[in-house]
Amino acid sequence: MRRFAVIGLGRFGQKLAIALAMSGAEVIAIDKNREVIEMIMDQVSHAVRLDSTDEEALKAQGVDKVDVAIIGIGQSTGGFEAAILTVVNLRQMGIKHIYARAEDLISGEVFSKVGATEVIYPEIESAQRWAYKLIAPQIGEKIDFAEGYSLARIQAPPSFNGRTVMDLQLRQKHNVNLVLIKRGQAAQEIKGEKGKIINVPMPSTVIYQDDILMVAGSDADLAKLPQE
């Protein structure tokens, strides 16, 4: 079982700690606020009130033995300095994977320079996800596998109904690759194939409205796929 330390239990830290614990991980939740610790103590493996800038206090709670540490300390009223010192402490303790929550790119650069192995930008990333969702509502969900490139799930629009893969020419016209198809309601009514998975779509494969298509390509090209 992997062990995590979540340090700083604001909204981000609390949700992350609880989600990790619900996934079966061992979680040490740390904050300076006693009330926050009391709220979360029954939902994680161990919750403790301490000052994360105190290296010895961290060691006393076994933080030096975790696999991953995440710093979610708020960065107002001295929080940024405390977060930096916490990253330095964790690095000196030999923690290999240190994630730091940053509110902006400048803060993220500082965290990287003092030893964070990964920087999390919840506000920025959330804004980017919502911007993409608003621009491309036809994209149900997507998995990022490289910067600017994703595997995405879309519902076949009415304009795709009854057309073959060759007819649609997704690669030639839209610069995206069709990976697989899950049959929808229209396919059920026509062929009795609702839920059927076609993992190797052929040029002659017919697509019906409401089929679920997994497609891969750049985020920009995926956003331009037809919506109707």
Read off the pLDDT of each residue in 38-44 and give the average, rounded to a whole number. Answer: 94
101 and 51: one domain? yes
Q: How confident is the model at residue 125 (pLDDT cuts 50, 70, 90)?
A: confident
Q: How confident is the model at residue 18 (pLDDT cuts 50, 70, 90)?
A: very high
Classify residue 97: in a domain, yes or no.
yes
Residue 223's pLDDT is 87
Pairing label, strands 206-207, 163-164:
antiparallel
Q: What CA–CA distance (Å, rounded) separates 15 from 117?
A: 21
DSSP strands (E only) in the chain = 3-7, 26-31, 46-49, 68-71, 97-101, 118-120, 139-146, 149-155, 163-164, 177-182, 197-198, 206-207, 212-218
106 and 210: one domain? no
28 and 111: one domain? yes
Q: What CA–CA distance (Å, rounded) separates 78 from 2?
A: 31
Q: Are 196 and 187 in contact (CB under 8 A)?
A: yes
| pTM for the model | 0.69
121 and 179: one domain? no
Residue 5's pLDDT is 96
Q: What CA–CA distance (Å, rounded) separates 181 from 196?
A: 8
Residue 28's pLDDT is 97
Among residues 61, 93, 125, which one ends one of the domains?
125
Among residues 125, 153, 179, which one ends one of the domains?
125
CATH of the domain at 36: 3.40.50.720
Digit-coded pLDDT (tens) for 45-89:
999 999 999 999 999 999 999 999 999 998 877 899 999 999 999
Domain that holds residue 161: 138-223
CATH of the domain at 144: 3.30.70.1450
Least confident range from 81-90, 188-197, 214-223: namely: 188-197
Q: Which of 161, 193, 192, 196 is nearest to 180 (CA)?
A: 196
159 and 64: one domain? no
The structure tokens 């062990």 sit at 3
Classify residue 22: in a domain, yes or no.
yes
Residue 42's pLDDT is 94
Residue 123's pLDDT is 86
97 and 30: one domain? yes
- Tell me the percentage of the chain whose pLDDT exceeds 90: 65
Pairing label, strands 68-71, 3-7:
parallel
18 and 107: one domain? yes
Most confident of 55-64, 131-140, 177-186, 215-224: 55-64
Examine the pLDDT at 136 and tell me if it is beyond 90. Answer: no
Q: How confident is the model at residue 137 (pLDDT cuts 50, 70, 90)?
A: confident
Read off the pLDDT of each residue in 41-47 and give the average, rounded to a whole number. Answer: 94
Return mean pLDDT, the chain: 90
Among residues 102, 125, 148, which one ends one of the domains?
125
Per the structure block, which two tokens stand in for 124? 């920025």
Residue 66's pLDDT is 95
Residue 107's pLDDT is 94
